[in-house]
Amino acid sequence: MLTPDAIAELRGRRYNGTVVHLRRANPDLMILRVRPDFPIPAHKPGQYCSLGLGFWEPRAEGCQVETLTPEEQAKLVRRAYSISCSISEGPGRLVEYGAEFLEFYIVLVRENADGRVPALTPRLFALKGGDRINIGDKISGMYTLDPVQSDDTVLFLGTGTGEAPHNYMLWELLRRGHSGRILTATCVRYARDLGYLATHRRLAEEYPNYTYLPLTTREPGVTKKAYIQDLITDGELEHHLGEPLEPARAHVYLCGNPKMIGVPHRDRATGGVTYPQPAGVIELLEARGFKADVSAAKFKGNVHFEEYW
Ligand SMILES: Cc1cc2nc3c(=O)[nH]c(=O)nc-3n(C[C@H](O)[C@H](O)[C@H](O)COP(=O)(O)OP(=O)(O)OC[C@H]3O[C@@H](n4cnc5c(N)ncnc54)[C@H](O)[C@@H]3O)c2cc1C
């Protein structure tokens, strides 16, 4: 066990940011704002940075039990988090964003299917306003709006907190006065897992070119009970978009659960492509003439993706 003095010393040395706002959308889902001690580096909507806490920090209740060696207790655990955005602060007003703090949208992983004990989120969920945290001073990632022209159709398809970078990119498009259609679909288990629902509903009323489609897989009624893949195969996506899904004019962004995204294996020697099964969105879209990006810089298509694990 580390002494209180040792913990105070580690916190002073390893932490470089302050939690300035924390909202629980539900007990396992939060919107967190962190103000770094350093000026926020130039970055683009869609990118990510790291958050970290010491293994010495307490864990939220009800999470998988962790056993640490004394050496591990003094270490820091860091994970990547997309930068999110609250987009709007009321009718007709987009938030002013970018200089004071960074916003994150994080789900608590209580237990890991692969047996590895989740290290960071149980600690993030024990944080409160004013607490100190480690925040990475590099903001990176290729998942950005770079390829989008002002009249392109833009689709943001995400699972759970995979909505985070989409919110920031949506804010940027609305701010720029994007003239093409924009659709966000977010797939979660229950309606309570839609942390920005009220904001998206208001934006969809305010902006005639914007549509928000919340999907719940375990709760019919409140929202549509469906997976993102279903929307594409049954034509519902195009119905809500109000136009055909055309590779020539659309960019599709996919973020979150790798099963939804379905990144194929591309055999360099033969040029063969093997898609994971059951089919993810990339397979469904490539069958319709879309082309997914190939690794970060090799080939930029019109389907862009960010896998969370
Ligand atoms: C580029 C990038 C950006 C990311 N941005 C976000 C973000 O904005 N918000 C966010 O909540 N997570 C995000 N993640 C995931 C994040 O980095 C951590 O993996 C996650 O918070 C779990 O950390 P952990 O230490 O508690 O658990 P770990 O021990 O790291 O457990 C990882 C396991 O948790 C599960 N898992 C991880 N992330 C999620 C998730 N978002 N939803 C459901 N299950 C998950 C998977 O089964 C995964 O195998 C991002 C990952 C990457 C690579």
Tens-place pLDDT, residues 164-218? 999 999 999 999 999 999 999 999 999 999 999 999 999 999 999 999 999 998 8
In a domain, 143, yes or no: no
- Same domain for 9 and 113, yes or no, is yes
Ligand 1, atom 5: closest residue by C-alpha: 81
- Same domain for 126 and 177, yes or no, is no
- Same domain for 126 and 162, yes or no, is no
- Of 102, 135, 168, the one marking the end of a domain is 135
Q: Per DSSP, which regions of 136-242 are E strands? A: 153-159, 182-188, 210-216
pLDDT band at 271 (very low <50, low <70, confident <90, very high): confident
pLDDT band at 223 (very low <50, low <70, confident <90, very high): low
- Of 170, 161, 206, nearest to 25 by C-alpha is 161
Which strands make up the sheet holding 132-135, listed edge to edge? Answer: 76-82, 48-54, 132-135, 17-26, 29-36, 102-107
In a domain, 15, yes or no: yes
pLDDT at 144 over 80: yes
Within 10 angstroms of residue 201's Cβ, the number of other Cβ atoms is 13
Give the pLDDT confidence of 59-117 residue by residue, as tens digits.
Answer: 999 999 999 998 999 999 999 999 999 999 988 899 999 889 999 999 999 998 887 89
pLDDT at 143 over 80: yes
- Same domain for 162 and 270, yes or no, is yes
pLDDT at 296 over 90: no
Residue 119 sits in a domain of what CATH number?
Answer: 2.40.30.10
Q: Tell me how far apart the alpha carbons of residues 77 and 283 are, in angstroms, rounded to a whole number.
A: 35
pLDDT of residue 92: 87
pLDDT at 260 over 70: yes
- CA 300 vs CA 32, 87, 106, 143, 305: distances in Å: 32, 27, 28, 11, 11
Q: How many domains, in total, are found in the chain?
A: 2
Q: How many residues does the chain have?
A: 309
Peptide bond preceding 278 in cis form (omega within 30 of 0): yes
Ligand 1 neighbourhood includes 79 CB (under 6 angstroms): yes
Ligand 1, atom 6: closest residue by C-alpha: 81
Q: Is 278 in contact with 227 (CB distance < 8 Å)?
A: no
pTM of the model: 0.96
In a domain, 141, yes or no: no
What is the span of the domain harbouring residue 30? 4-135
- Same domain for 43 and 122, yes or no, is yes
- Same domain for 72 and 216, yes or no, is no
Q: Which residue has the tokens 């909507």?
A: 45
Q: Is 181 in contact with 242 (CB distance < 8 Å)?
A: yes
Ligand 1 neighbourhood includes 306 CB (under 6 angstroms): yes
Within 10 angstroms of residue 129's Cβ, the number of other Cβ atoms is 12
- Of 274, 271, 264, 277, nearest to 303 by C-alpha is 264
Cα(117) to centroid(ligand 1), Å:
12
- Of 134, 137, 173, nearest to 253 by C-alpha is 173
Q: Per DSSP, which regions of the chain are E strands? A: 17-26, 29-36, 48-54, 76-82, 88-90, 93-94, 102-107, 132-135, 153-159, 182-188, 210-216, 250-256, 265-266, 273-274, 303-307
Ligand 1: nearest atom to the Cα of 308: 51
For a mutational test of ligand 1's pocket, the pick from 26, 34, 79, 254, i.e. the residue with the most ligand atoms closer than 8 A to its C-beta, is 79
pLDDT at 161 over 90: yes
In a domain, 177, yes or no: yes
- The answer to which of 192-206, 213-227, 286-300 has the lowest mean pLDDT is 213-227
Ligand 1 neighbourhood includes 305 CB (under 6 angstroms): no
Ligand 1 neighbourhood includes 164 CB (under 6 angstroms): yes
pLDDT band at 268 (very low <50, low <70, confident <90, very high): confident
- Same domain for 26 and 157, yes or no, is no
Average pLDDT over residues 140-149: 96
Which percentage of the chain shows pLDDT scores above 90? 88
- Same domain for 266 and 294, yes or no, is yes
pLDDT of residue 221: 63
